[in-house]
Amino acid sequence: MGVIGRAAGAELQIGAVFCHHDLILPDGSRRTIRREISMVDDLFPNAQPEPAAGDWLHINSGLFAPAVFRELGGYADSVEEDRDLRNRLLMSGQILRVIEEPLLTKIETAGSLTLSPETGYDSPRRRADRHAIWRAVEDWFATRRIAPRPIDLPHDCLAEITNPAALALSEAAMTAPCRAMLAAMLSAMLAEAPASRAPLRVPLSRRPAPAAPRRAPPPRSKRPSEGQSRPNPVTRGRRALSLQSQFGRRAAISACRRRKASREYV
């Protein structure tokens, strides 16, 4: 039995990798979400356990292979955009993996999309988007086909590209006007990029000379110089006790012997 959307005998590549996550709710409670079966809740709702708010795998924080976006396009214009993408990954036969460790912490607040009156779980907009997703699943069961969703960004979607020299236009599926707009925007920003954003390259003639090596201090003489007082034996004893507490009895004895020898002047 082959994988849906894949030819028999073809080498299978992983399309996306997800992970478990910790969920912090507005009341401060914390729970770890470990429920891979939630990925197929729209395809097999009869296999799902009792639903709980927020109890599903987080799709928007995955690692995706570039081929996924070439084949499927991008997100839908929907408050259920992650659910829609998840279903298209499954229905197109993408190979998915889940890291069974909570590598992500999601914090829900009163202003989150899932709790806002306009986009919450019971909002009219979310219900309409959810029904559209279910219709797409029904169409897939009937035809076993999933159409790509080309990316179509608005004209003023990007205000600035901070490092255009490090970018290239993606091969993701997108509409022709969107691709032309992004290509023109990237070219214009490359032409107008200020020199201050270029990599800093200082000519050799302007580089500061290396610092001179520090000279080692002259060796201490065992005989005190004229006018120099002899070391205080009490101070030396205190230092020896300090060494004993830090490095042990053997190090302290050795230090005492060296200090005793230093008081024997020629």
- For the chain, what percent of residues have pLDDT higher than 70? 68
Closest CA to 85 of 54, 55, 64, 110: 64
Does residue 215 belong to any structural domain of this protein?
no
DSSP assignment letter at 73: B
Q: How confident is the model at residue 220, as a pLDDT?
A: 61
- Rounded average pLDDT over 204-208: 43
Higher pLDDT, 251 or 49: 49
> Do 50 and 169 fall within a single domain?
no
* pLDDT surpassing 50 at residue 217: yes
Higher pLDDT, 24 or 203: 24
- pTM of the predicted model as reported, rounded to 2 decimal places: 0.66
Q: Tokens for 260?
A: 């005793």
Q: How confident is the model at residue 233, as a pLDDT?
A: 53
| Sole residue written with tokens 């028999």 | 8
> Do 63 and 78 fall within a single domain?
yes
> Do 167 and 69 fall within a single domain?
no
Does residue 52 belong to any structural domain of this protein?
yes
> Do 87 and 31 fall within a single domain?
yes
Q: Which domain-ending residue is among 149, 171, 203?
A: 149
> Do 162 and 145 fall within a single domain?
no
Does residue 104 belong to any structural domain of this protein?
yes
Count of structural domains within the chain: 3
Does residue 84 belong to any structural domain of this protein?
yes
> Do 128 and 20 fall within a single domain?
yes
Beta carbons within 8 Å of 181's beta carbon, 6+ residues apart = 153, 155
* pLDDT surpassing 50 at residue 205: no
Lowest mean pLDDT among 26-35, 153-162, 184-193, 227-236: 227-236
- Rounded average pLDDT over 73-85: 93
Tell me the per-residue pLDDT of 139-185, one tens digit each, with 9 for 90 and over.
Answer: 999 999 988 999 998 887 777 777 888 888 989 999 999 999 999 88
> Do 37 and 130 fall within a single domain?
yes
> Do 65 and 138 fall within a single domain?
yes
Characterize the bridge pairing of strands 95-107 and 14-24.
parallel
Q: Which domain-ending residue is among 118, 149, 180?
A: 149
**Res. 206 pLDDT band, cuts 50 70 90:** very low
> Do 171 and 258 fall within a single domain?
no
Does residue 78 belong to any structural domain of this protein?
yes
**Res. 98 pLDDT band, cuts 50 70 90:** very high
Does residue 222 belong to any structural domain of this protein?
no
Beta carbons within 8 Å of 227's beta carbon, 6+ residues apart = none
> Do 135 and 168 fall within a single domain?
no
Does residue 110 belong to any structural domain of this protein?
yes
> Do 33 and 99 fall within a single domain?
yes
Mean per-residue pLDDT of the chain: 78
| Sole residue written with tokens 């490359």 | 190
Most confident of 6-10, 11-15, 257-261: 11-15
Main-chain phi, psi angles of 95, to 5 degrees: -85, 120
Q: How confident is the model at residue 223, as a pLDDT?
A: 57
Main-chain phi, psi angles of 104, to 5 degrees: -140, 140
Instruction: Round to the nearest angstrom and report the end-to-end CA distance of the chain.
Output: 97
- Rounded average pLDDT over 228-239: 53
Does residue 85 belong to any structural domain of this protein?
yes
> Do 119 and 77 fall within a single domain?
yes
Measured between alpha carbons, how far is residue 48 from residues 41, 97, 98, 185 in Å?
6, 19, 18, 46
- Rounded average pLDDT over 212-222: 61
- Rounded average pLDDT over 86-93: 94
Which domain, by its residues, includes 258?
235-262
